[in-house]
Amino acid sequence: MMLDKMIYKVLWVEDQEEIVESTKLDADQYGIELDHYSNWQDAEVNLRNNFDDYTAIILDAYCKIKPTEDIKEEFINAVLPSLARMFGEKKRFIPWYILSAGTMNYFTHTVQGAEYQHQTDEWGQMLYIKDAPDDDPKNSRFLYENICKVGKE
């Protein structure tokens, strides 16, 4: 069931290829087009070139920074300064969120650090968990609903 007739384009950085298609289908139900990248280097180039096309950004917490590297626990800490710099250059913020399994070693610490840079009052909740139960507020459907809400504003 499509909740909104608008189409929201969302940059999505996720290295687990096996979840891409099913996640895209879930997002489609909300009028969200996920533009998927498996690493930050490629995503950043696309974001810089098509900045005004995006409604939101979804980041995995434990992902690749460069296509030839392994996934990094430092992913969020490496990406957020890059985003802040780009937001300053473009003179506009794009709401960003974390959608993760939450299984990395320093996950709680990483999330707590990211919360200082997230505009929760305007953008809503920052963290969503990939396998959260349907009724859990951290379930991805609440992320999609939140993106639609923020996208309208």
Which amino acid is residue 144, in one-letter code?
A: Y
Residue 77 has pLDDT above 90, yes or no: no
State how far the Cα of 41 lies from the Cα of 21, in Å rounded to an integer.
21
Question: Are the CB atoms for 137 and 100 separated by under 8 Å?
Answer: no
pLDDT for 106 equals 72
State how far the Cα of 44 lies from the Cα of 13, in Å rounded to an integer.
10
Mean pLDDT in residue range 71-98: 91
Residue 9 has pLDDT above 80, yes or no: yes
Mean pLDDT in residue range 4-10: 79
| 93-131 residue pLDDT tens | 999 999 988 766 677 767 777 777 777 688 999 999 998
CA 136 vs CA 103, 133, 142: distances in Å: 17, 5, 9
pLDDT-derived band at 70 (thresholds 50, 70, 90) equals: confident
Q: Which residue is it, tokens 């940059």?
A: 11
DSSP one-letter code for 132: -
pLDDT for 4 equals 44
Residue 1 has pLDDT above 50, yes or no: no
Record the tokens describing residue 1, joined without a space.
């069931």
- The closest alpha carbon to 101, from 23, 27, 10, 41, belongs to 23
